[in-house]
A and B are shown apart, each in its own frame.
Chain A
Amino acid sequence: MDLSAINPVLLIASLMVAATPILLAAIGELVVEKSGVLNLGVEGMMIIGAVSGFAIAVESGSPWLGFVASAVAGAVFSLLFVLLTQVAKANQVASGLALTLTGLGLSALLGQSYVGIRPPQMGKLDIPLLSDLPVLGPILFGHDPILYLGIALTAGVWALLKFTRAGLVLRAVGENHDAAHALGYKVIRIRIMAIMFGGACAGLGGAYISLIRVPQWTEGMTAGVGWIALALVVFASWKPWRALLGAYLFGGVTVVQLNLQAAGVAIPVEYLAMSPYVITIIVLVILSADKSSAPAALGRNFHASR
């Protein structure tokens, strides 16, 4: 065992990379849940984003196009959820599960011919002087652009929910859809837009795994990240900055256990590999006492009776 091989600067830098897919998916789901919809299909939308982003990036040779495609694919795929819950008024829990199961099957089918290929690489941010700083350089200025996009999205969603009229309407729909409807807001339309935004974010998160984090395509490669993102929204009490904090915490756990595996700690690999999931459960338990900040209409379908 050689713990001195673990470089703390690299650890923090790779922690941020590991956290980004969770963060992207969680921010999207946070907006969805703020509108009063519980979409359990995050895992499915992520893996669809992962495969379509990967395929487009490989075919076009441009990772940028890949990311755009993944967001579009995630949003389009989330329309299936829209169809079930907003049009057909089906149970949201069951519909989310249907989305995940369908997504896992569809992605495996689409990705068959892409197994074992290396995708084109996305360049890293390289600012002269700043990126060369000894400690801060690799941590703050040495990442790929999508990682910064994740942080920017967090700030954007925070500002949207807190300061804008659109954010207020979104929250109103999530707290009491009947009242929002009575005020003349288009409840269903707003929810559809929120769900599609969530789908696009989950798609981006998935593509981040297949294009940057791993980078490779394998079947079922999201391995529960979508579910962790769902847990993260609860952890964050539906607050964007806490989602960022939570994502970095989970990213940290993942990276530390990978580093411990590599360093050859006496703990068997399987027990290290299960740690992110166990810690998710523990964190959920600690934080689930406070449910006051959950949107009041979460998980309830809206049907205008007149």
Chain B
Amino acid sequence: MIRLEKRPQPSRAWSLATPLVAVLATMLFGGLLFAALGKDPVEAIRTIFWDPLFGEFAFYYRPQLLIKGAPLVLIAIGLSLGFKAGIWNIGAEGQYIMGAIVGASVGLAFYPYEAWYIFPLMVIGGALGGWIWAMIPAVLKVRFGTNEILVSLMLVYVAEQLLASASLRFLKNPEGFGFPGSRNLQSYESAFNADLIEGSGMHWGVVAAFIAVIFAYVLLNRHMVGFHIRLTGEAPRAAKFAGVNPARLILLCLGISGALAGLAGLFEVSGPAGQISIDFNVGYGFTAIIVAFLGRLHPVGILLAGGLMALTYIGGDIAQSNLGLPSAAIQLFQGMLLFFLLALDLLTNFRVSLRKVEVA
């Protein structure tokens, strides 16, 4: 009979080891899945995890790692603050879209005028767009006690409709021959979020992601607010006695995560994506949830987890074109990762021991 004994303190060793074990377990089961789909499992795993970094065309894929990783890290850092405090913003996808729409609108309002201050204004617009979208669930929760999980998620669907409306109507390129989608910001110099070093994939979004990691680290470890966030998550009653203002914390956590998701959307639309289009969002907001957990809600962990998730995106694309692996398989692969991680967390919080059956 297997017995679970709650550890007085979560095991530090297991807390660090579970993400690695989860990744290995996912590779194993993912391999079985790929084998079931009739693909060579070893080749599939190698294509996803090895080829983008060290394969023949790695020079092309390595910059992609930064491009795909930056939005994931940016969003996940914001989410992790809330998750730590038990505030569940799962609508980052919507905030990402709104950041892109508002930011792109700011830029397009100036078109074709060129000036140095246009891009900074767009950045502010992007952050504001995401922030406002996240403020809706935050204010509703603070004012009426509405469940932030459901509201933030509903707002994703609303944002998706707004995105469709933007690309079909109010941001549609007047010179686009009737095709949906906005003007391409890549050909509008003042609004283009170009690579800082040509061909490196290093655009402003990557810089922002690194800044966000440092900012979150300092906030959580060296600042009173960070302490309050951790306290609220780990001991809500103690937080109450310590005088933590829950309303302020909700507004702050949701606000930061919304603004960061909005920034991610803006950097994407003004750089790699280039334009507002109906299929602009590709699920970064949801994958970032996995990134946040895989990184153990720790800024440095999230940075590493974001890189790994970016790798599965890129490797998945390669596997799709080279091996004919369906894109849904990669989506399932990412879901499995979160699944194994949560399951293995048992070892962090409990001691598993084998004992004889006792009479209860």
Contacts and interface: CB of A to CB of B under 8 A. Distances in A.
B151 interface: yes
Contacts of B339: 80, 84, 98, 102
Contacts of B342: 84, 88, 90-91, 94-95, 98
A69 B94 CA distance: 34
Contacts, number: 135
Contacts of A278: 154, 158
Interface in A267-292: 268, 270-271, 273-274, 277-278, 280-281, 284-285, 288-289, 291
A101 B335 contact: yes
B165 A270 contact: yes
B346 A88 contact: yes
Contacts of A97: 90, 289, 338
A285 B286 contact: no
B4 interface: yes
Contacts of B293: 94
Contact of B335 (A87, A98, A291): A98
B57 interface: no
Interface residues on A, range: 35 or more
A277 B328 CA distance: 26
A230 B331 contact: no
Given A80-B339, A84-B342, A90-B346, A104 B161 contact: no
A212 interface: no
B219 interface: no
Contact of B153 (A90, A224, A268, A305): A224
Main secondary structure of the interface of A (DSSP, over half): helix
Contact of B154 (A84, A108, A280): A280
A105 B293 CA distance: 18
B332 interface: yes
Contact of B151 (A101, A112, A274, A284): A284
21 contacts: A87-B346, A90-B345, A91-B342, A93-B149, A94-B293, A94-B342, A98-B342, A101-B335, A103-B335, A105-B334, A106-B335, A109-B37, A109-B328, A109-B329, A231-B154, A271-B161, A278-B158, A281-B146, A281-B155, A285-B144, A285-B146
Interface of B: 4, 6, 37, 88, 90, 136, 140, 144-147, 149-151, 153-155, 157-158, 161-162, 164-165, 168-169, 286, 289-290, 293, 326-336, 338-339, 342-346, 349-350
A-B residue pairs, 9 tightest by C-beta:
A105-B332, A108-B328, A102-B335, A105-B331, A88-B346, A274-B161, A101-B335, A270-B165, A90-B342
